[in-house]
Amino acid sequence: MNGTFGVKDNWLKTGDFYSEDQIEAVLGQLGIQIISETETVFQGLCPFHRNTNSPSFAVNKVNGTYICFNPACDVYGDLTKLVMSLNKVTIFGAKRLLDQFKSNDVSIVKQVENIFNKTNELPEFPSTTINRMADDLWESPGLNYMHNREFTDKTLAYFQIGYSKVNNSVAIPVHDWEGNSVGVIGRTIEGKGFKNSQLLPTRKTLFNIHRAKKTGERVIIVESAMDAMRLHQFGYPNAVATCGGFFTEYHKQLIDRYFNEVIIMTDDDDPNLHRDVKCRKCTNTCLGHNPGRALGLKIADSMKNKRIRWAATEYGVFYPNNAKDVGEMSEAEIHKAINSSITNIEYVLWRKDIPGLNLI
C-alpha cells in the first residue's frame, strides 16, 4: 500500500484538507482504531464490513479520503461521507462535527493515551513463533539475503532474525519498551515487499527501544529496523527505528521518558522521486520533496525539550556519495556522520543558506 488509491484516485479528489492530528481525532471519535500507518495513510480495521484479521481500511492523511482494499467490501469516499455513514447524520451534521475538529486546538482535540498506561497494553506475539523462525533462518535463503546486506551471524543471532517459509521473507522481531514481543517485520527475499505480522503496532513502539534505553541518554533515530541493526553492528546499540516515515505522539512519549539527546539520521531522499501532481506545498509545478528530511524536522519540532543533532559528514553534506540512508554507507562513513553531527541550530542555517539541499 503506497498511499495512493489506484483507479479510484481521481474520484477521491476533494477540496477539504486537514492536519494529520485532526484526521486522527475524527477517526477516534468515530471509533476507528488505527492499527498502523505509512507516510501518507492511516490503516485500520474496516468499520463497514468489520474485519478482524488485517487492517484493510486506509485513510489519506491529507484530505481524509478513505477506501477498503477488501474486494468484497470496496467502500470509498471522503471524510464527510465517512462521518455521515458511521454517525448516521446528514451532511450538515457531518460538516458541523468536522468544523469542530478543524477549529479547535489540536492539543485539546487529540486525546492520545499515555503509552505507559497499563490499559493501553500492546498485543502479544508468541515467542515460540519467533524462536521457530529464528531456527529456520540458518538453513534458508534468508541467511544469504542478510549476508548480502552485510549482516554478521552475531548480529542476526542478537536480534533473533528469523525466516518465514510461508512468505519467503526474513522476519525481524519487534518489542515494546519492556521487551515484550509484539510482532515481526517481514521483508521479502525477492523484491522489496513488506509482509508484517497482523496488528503490528509500529505507531506505538520503536524498534529496539527496549535495548537502546539501557545504553545511556543519547539515542539515534532512523527509519528502518535494518538501519538500526546496522548501526548496532558498527558500535551504536542506542539506535531505534520508527519503522516508517512517521513520528507519532507515542514515539515522542518513549523518547521523552528514556533519552535527553537525539541524533536524527533519517533518510535523505531524492526529491525527483517524490513529486506529486496534486501537491499543495508548491505553486504550479511540484518541485519535489524529501520525506526523510521532513520526518527529521517533525522529530526535531516535537522534541524541543531535548538536545537535537543531525547526522552529517561535512558542511552541506548529510551522507556521502549521495547515500540515501545508513544501509548505503560504509562503517567509516557512518562513524563520520555521527561523530560530525551538527546541532539543530546549524541545521536550520544550512536550510536557509545552502542552495540545492532539497530540504523541502
Residue intervals in the chain for CATH 3.90.980.10: 120-200
6-111 is classed CATH 3.20.20.105: no
- Coil, helix or strand at residue 257: helix
Q: Which residue has the cell 518465514?
A: 164
8 Å CB contact between 291 and 242: no
Q: What's residue 337's pLDDT?
A: 96
Could you tell me how many residues make up the chain? 360
Q: What's residue 235's pLDDT?
A: 97
Residue intervals in the chain for CATH 3.90.580.10: 6-111
What are 31-52's pLDDT values in tens digits?
Answer: 787 777 766 788 888 888 766 6
Which three three-digit cell numbers place residue 115? Answer: 503509552
Distance CA 30, CA 246 (A): 23
Fold of 206-360: Dna Topoisomerase Vi A Subunit; Chain: A, domain 2 (3.40.1360)
Distance CA 42, CA 10 (A): 19
Q: What's residue 39's pLDDT?
A: 64
From the list 360, 280, 294, the residue with the least C-alpha distance to 62 is 280
Distance CA 197, CA 123 (A): 11
What is the longest distance spanned by two Cα atoms in the chain?
Answer: 62
From the list 205, 203, 204, 207, the residue with the least C-alpha distance to 187 is 207
8 Å CB contact between 267 and 233: no
Q: What's residue 279's pLDDT?
A: 66
8 Å CB contact between 65 and 3: no
**Residue 348: its H or E element:** helix 344-353
pTM: predicted TM-score of the whole model, two decimal places: 0.76
For the chain, 360 residues long, give each residue's pLDDT as a single digit of tens.
333 344 344 434 444 677 777 788 788 778 787 777 766 788 888 888 766 666 778 888 878 888 887 767 778 888 888 988 888 888 888 888 787 766 444 443 345 578 887 766 788 899 999 999 999 999 999 999 999 999 999 999 999 999 999 889 999 999 999 999 999 999 888 877 777 887 788 888 999 999 999 999 999 999 999 999 999 999 999 999 999 888 888 899 999 999 999 999 999 988 888 777 666 667 777 777 788 888 899 999 999 899 999 999 998 889 999 899 999 999 999 999 999 999 999 998 888 887 666 555
CATH superfamily of 120-200: DNA primase, catalytic core, N-terminal domain (3.90.980.10)
Q: What's residue 281's pLDDT?
A: 67
From the list 66, 16, 58, 63, the residue with the least C-alpha distance to 38 is 58
Q: What's residue 73's pLDDT?
A: 74
What are 233-283's pLDDT values in tens digits?
Answer: 999 999 999 998 888 888 999 999 999 999 999 999 888 887 776 666 677
